[in-house]
C-alpha cells in the first residue's frame, strides 16, 4: 500500500489483524558493510523505523539536511549505529530495509513511497519505504524538489538556462501551420 500516512497505515494494520509494530535485529552483514564490528547482541529496528540498542533503549534519529528545500521535520532521517566503540551515521531507511527486506537490495536504492509532505521521515515498512531503481527513486520526489535539484545541478556545472522568449511558441506554431499549408 503506498500513499497515506502513518495513522492510516496503522489503522490498516490493526484492521487486518496484524501487530502494530514488528522488531527485527540489524543483520551482521549490515554492520560489516558499514565498517563496524558485529556486536554480540545487535541493535533492533521496528517496521515503523524506530531503533533500539542491545539494552532496549530507543535511539534518537535526526534530519540529515536533505532535501535542503524542505524544513527539518520533512527531511530524510539519520541515526547513529554504534558497535565495538565505533560510531557510524546511517540512514534509517537503509537500516530498516536491511533488516526487513534484505533479499532485494542488490543495486537498488531506498525509496520513500508516502505522498504526504513529510514522507521522508515516515520510515515504515512496507507502507513507506521499499527498494527501487534510481529512476523510480527520482520520480518519487515531489516535482518542486526535482526542479530545484536540476537547477542547482545546472548552476554547479555552469549551464545557463535562458527563460523562454515570449511569443516563441506562437511563432513556432505559426510556422508549422504555414508549412502544412504550403505542402498541400
Phi, psi for residue 99 in degrees, rounded to 5? -80, -40
Residue 166 lies in a domain: no
**Inter-residue contact 92 to 49 (CB < 8 Å):** yes
Residue 22 clears pLDDT 90, i.e. is over it: yes
pLDDT given for residue 58 in this prediction: 94
Beta carbons within 10 angstroms of residue 64's beta carbon: 16
Residue 51 domain flag: yes
Residue of 24 and 162 predicted with greater confidence? 24
Domain range for 119: 6-157
In a domain, 65, yes or no: yes
Beta bridge partners of 59: 51
Whether 85 maps to a domain, the answer reads yes
Is 173 a domain residue?
no
The predicted pLDDT at position 2 comes to: 55
Kindly report the CATH number assigned to the domain that includes residue 27.
3.90.75.20
Question: Is residue 178 situated within a structural domain?
Answer: no
Number of domains in the chain: 1
Cβ pair 110, 93 in contact under 8 A: yes
The model's pTM is 0.74
Q: How far apart are CA 43 and CA 25, in angstroms?
A: 6
Q: What pLDDT digit, counting tens, does each position of 144-165 carry?
A: 777 777 787 888 887 766 665 6
Q: And the C-alpha cell for 121?
A: 521521515
pLDDT digits (tens, 9 = 90+) for 96-115: 999 999 887 778 888 888 76
The three grid cell numbers given for residue 91, joined into one nine-digit string: 540512514
User: Among residues 115, 120, 116, 73, which one has the least CA distance to residue 94?
Assistant: 120
Q: Is residue 13 part of a domain?
A: yes
46 lies in a domain?
yes
Examine the pLDDT at 166 and tell me if it is beyond 70. no
Average pLDDT over residues 47-55: 93
Q: How confident is the model at residue 120 (pLDDT cuts 50, 70, 90)?
A: confident
pLDDT band per the 50, 70, 90 thresholds, residue 116: low
Amino acid at each position: 500500500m503506498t500513499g497515506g500516512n502513518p495513522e492510516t497505515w496503522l489503522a490498516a494494520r490493526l484492521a487486518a489483524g496484524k501487530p502494530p509494530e514488528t522488531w527485527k535485529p540489524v543483520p551482521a552483514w549490515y554492520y560489516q558493510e558499514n565498517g563496524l564490528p558485529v556486536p554480540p547482541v545487535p541493535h533492533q529496528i521496528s517496521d515503523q523505523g524506530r531503533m533500539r540498542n542491545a539494552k532496549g533503549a530507543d535511539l534518537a534519529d535526526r534530519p540529515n539536511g536533505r532535501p535542503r528545500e524542505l524544513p527539518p521535520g520533512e527531511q530524510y532521517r539519520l541515526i547513529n549505529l554504534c558497535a565495538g566503540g565505533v560510531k557510524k551515521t546511517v540512514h534509517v531507511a537503509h537500516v530498516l530495509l536491511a533488516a526487513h527486506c534484505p533479499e532485494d537490495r542488490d543495486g537498488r536504492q531506498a525509496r520513500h513511497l508516502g505522498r504526504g509532505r513529510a514522507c521522508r521521515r515516515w520510515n515504515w515498512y512496507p507502507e513507506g519505504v521499499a527498494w527501487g531503481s534510481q529512476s523510480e527513486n527520482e520520480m518519487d520526489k515531489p516535482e518542486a524538489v526535482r526542479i530545484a535539484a536540476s537547477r542547482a545541478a545546472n548552476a554547479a556545472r555552469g549551464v545557463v538556462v535562458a527563460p523562454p522568449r515570449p511569443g516563441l511558441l506562437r511563432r513556432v506554431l505559426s510556422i508549422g501551420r504555414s508549412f502544412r499549408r504550403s505542402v498541400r
